[in-house]
Amino acid sequence: MTTAQTTAARRVSYQLHTLWDFDYEPTHQDLLTLYETAKKNQWNGSTAIDWSRPVGKEGPVLNVQTAFQGTQFFSRLTEEEQKEVEIRVSAWRLSQFLHGEQGALLVASQLVNPIPELDSKLYASTQVVDEGRHVEVFERYVKKLHKIYPVDPLLKGLIDEILASELWELKLLGMQMLIEGLAIAAFNLMRRQTGDPTLADLLDYVLQDEGRHVNFGYFALRRSIPLMGDPTRAFLEDFALKACDAMYARDEHTGFQSIKGVWNEMGWDGEAIFRDTITNSQTVKAFNRLLFTEVLIPRLQRLGLISPRVEPRYREIGLLD
């Protein structure tokens, strides 16, 4: 790829309407409380985490025994190959978190402009700092562990669509609800599986912040969706459906496919291992259950975004009974 093409692939163009709020009247107590909590719970990525420890030496970064339990390929690997898988798959996964954090930083900074009320703007300003810190700590960790893998095309595509939209409601739905919902579920799973104290500390700190971000999205959308016109609501419903459909890994066309590159890099058949993992890994099944049936779908239902119009499609995919 030439430099010009690379730059084009990185660039996202959009138009944003910036709103001032000259009322200076507190409007939402829930957001003011969240803003206070955000100010109180700031932490410094350089000092809160002990970076002097060697990464991945005190315990597995990702417990691959658990993560790939049930798959056919994993039981055939030697001990050295298993260690190699642990480092590379962890680096790939954490790289996606890193790119997602950068996406969250970009979206949070956009949100300060179009979101109507001052308490929302103030809260959004704290999310900008939070996400900056998340980029910092994930970048530091991944570089210490191995290397930064490229952004997954599905992740990049979703974030670009969120960035390019002029609707602040779509930014909140796409980032705070769906992508951060996915991130929290993945961070929690990784936190339970890791034996590495540096990663455990990092995830504990990041998770504290992420909980607030999801609440921000939920509080703001819960108020705005009932007041929305039908075409805008339908647009949000369609985006949520499309994102869930793409992220729900269930065949060779869905899920974050760029992991195949890690398997190919090791000289193995990326397509076959991808299929083996989504079909047989108990962790993948448990993760999908947790993410979709326990977190995302109930949240979308509470927000009124699974209307009778889109409900049949959720059933077809297998995300609703």
SS3 at position 252:
coil
CB of 250 to Fe ion, least distance (A): 26
Site for Fe ion contains 213 (CB under 5 A): yes
Q: What is the DSSP string of 27-49?
A: --HHHHHHHHHHHHT---HHHHS
For residue 79, the one-letter residue type is: E
Tell me phi and psi for residue 2, to 5 degrees: -75, 165
Half-sphere exposure of 292 (CA within 13 A, CB side): 24
**For residues 210 and 237, which CB has a smaller minimum distance to Fe ion in the complex?**
210
Stretch that binds Fe ion, among 67-75, 133-141, 241-249, 292-300 (CB under 5 A): 133-141
Site for Fe ion contains 212 (CB under 5 A): no
Stretch that binds Fe ion, among 17-25, 30-38, 114-122, 175-183 (CB under 5 A): 175-183
CB of 123 to Fe ion, least distance (A): 12
**For residues 88 and 140, which CB has a smaller minimum distance to Fe ion in the complex?**
140
Stretch that binds Fe ion, among 47-55, 179-187, 216-224, 270-278 (CB under 5 A): 179-187
Site for Fe ion contains 104 (CB under 5 A): yes
Q: How far is CA 295 from CA 111, 177, 207, 222, 256, in A?
A: 24, 10, 15, 16, 19
**For residues 72 and 215, which CB has a smaller minimum distance to Fe ion in the complex?**
215
Site for Fe ion contains 106 (CB under 5 A): no
Residues found in the chain: 321
CB of 104 to Fe ion, least distance (A): 5
- For residue 130 the two structure tokens come to 């939070």
Site for Fe ion contains 186 (CB under 5 A): no
**For residues 117 and 131, which CB has a smaller minimum distance to Fe ion in the complex?**
131
Q: By the 8 A CB rule, do 278 and 255 touch?
A: yes
Site for Fe ion contains 185 (CB under 5 A): no
CB of 20 to Fe ion, least distance (A): 25
Q: What is the DSSP string of 150-200?
A: PPPHHHHHHHHHHHH-S-HHHHIIIIIIIIHHHHHHHHHHHHHH---HHHH
Residues 192-211 that bind Fe ion (CB under 5 A): 210
Q: How far apart are CA 203 and CA 187, in angstroms?
A: 6
CB of 305 to Fe ion, least distance (A): 20
**For residues 201 and 311, which CB has a smaller minimum distance to Fe ion in the complex?**
201
Q: How far apart are CA 273 and CA 270, in angstroms?
A: 5
**For residues 68 and 219, which CB has a smaller minimum distance to Fe ion in the complex?**
219
Site for Fe ion contains 134 (CB under 5 A): yes
Kindly list the residues in this chain that would bind Fe ion in the complex (CB under 5 A). Answer: 101, 104, 131, 134, 180, 210, 213
